Copies of this chain bind each other. A is one copy, B any other.
């Protein structure tokens, strides 16, 4: 394998794994695991490699997300999940921000400890069916009425794959609000550098000894590279081009 430049692989001590499109395809029916992925997680753990799930999932609390994954046969715990909502809560508390939430109803409990009265920012997640015109317009009116509008977006993905096809992700709605208000959102979650740094800290492995595995060339691969990590793009999930598994480093 030396000719392929895989020598670095011997130094790898930990993996960051994207979840949707890598371990399973989400869906209104609860989603379905991707063939072989639960077994792969077991083998990774058995091999002694450290493992952390690094997800932009914002349709459920981490506890509910882990419950769903475990029911599908994945041996994972809440501590092994790095997700945008807890990162957003830390940022809100550090800066004294009180959010108006435009997120999926099932994510709201993650913000239970956060003061949401008299909002001075908007937090945007993958609200899916809750992205009605009325809800998006409410967030727009709040932002346009602020002296300095603050929009925090839990990711900037374009779309993701569910069991019944591709779905618009939070990034599309972030762009709509950015354009309407002539502002730039702050992204919490992949591909933000600080988010990968948190995931690496939770993994307990430095960037040069970790590999990110995902299906999104921007959020997963690009974000990991910005952090000095190597990254693998899988051909499952939203991957659409013809080719083999891409190794990008």
Contact = CB atoms under 8 A, between A and B. Distances in A.
Interface of A: 127-134, 136-137, 140-141, 144, 158-159, 165-169, 171-173, 175-182
Given A169-B180, A172-B179, 5 more contacts: A128-B133, A140-B166, A158-B179, A175-B176, A175-B179
Contacts of A133: 127-132, 168
A141 B168 CA distance: 9
A152 B89 CA distance: 39
A177 B175 CA distance: 9
Contacts of A179: 158, 171-172, 175
Contacts of A128: 133
Given A133-B131, A141-B166, A177 B182 contact: no
| Most-contacted residue by chain B among A130, A169, A175 (CB, 10 A) | A175
Nearest to A128: B133
Q: Chain B CB within 10 Å — which of A158, A171, A172 has the most?
A: A172
Contacts of A136: 131, 168, 172
A107 to B, nearest CB: 15
Contact of A176 (B140, B141, B144, B173): B173
Contacts of A171: 179-180
A172 B177 contact: yes
A22 to B, nearest CB: 20
